[in-house]
């Protein structure tokens, strides 16, 4: 029984190593705490090893990942603020600055 439990924990750790997320979007919902704006923008979010990439138009943004917890990817920006990217099961990516949690961006594919 101990061998089975050890094997299960080993497989869980191997499967969680190098998590990869990928989400395409063509709609960005911007909520600033008061009003909700919808904008037609398209791109792709991709997590690879310790970097989060945002590909849109002819440009790419890179974010250094500080931590991954489940579907939550955390990045510390140049101002020392923690930004959380939540990769939902339905394909949405929700970007929230933890300093201002009532303001967020949702990247969604229609």
d(CA 110, CA 95): 18
Q: What's the pLDDT tens digit per position in 19-70?
A: 678 999 999 999 999 999 999 999 999 998 889 999 998 899 999 999 999 8
Residue 104 CB neighbour total at 10 angstroms: 17
E-strand spans in 1-110? Answer: 21-25, 27-31, 36-39, 43-48, 51-56, 59-69, 72-76, 82-87, 93-97, 104-108
pLDDT band at 5 (very low <50, low <70, confident <90, very high): confident
Q: What is the pLDDT of residue 4?
A: 75
Q: What is the pLDDT of residue 21?
A: 87
d(CA 100, CA 79): 13
Q: Is the per-residue pLDDT at 72 higher than 80?
A: yes
């Amino acid at each position: 029984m101990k061998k089975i439990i050890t094997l299960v924990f080993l497989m869980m750790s191997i499967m969680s190593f190098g998590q990869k997320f990928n989400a395409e979007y063509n709609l960005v919902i911007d909520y600033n705490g008061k009003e909700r704006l919808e904008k037609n923008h398209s791109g792709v979010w991709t997590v690879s090893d310790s970097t989060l990439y945002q590909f849109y138009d002819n440009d790419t943004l890179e974010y250094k990942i500080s931590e991954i917890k489940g579907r939550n990817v955390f990045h510390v920006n140049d101002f020392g603020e923690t930004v959380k990217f939540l990769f939902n099961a339905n394909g949405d990516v929700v970007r929230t600055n933890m300093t201002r949690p009532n303001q967020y961006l949702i990247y969604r594919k229609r």
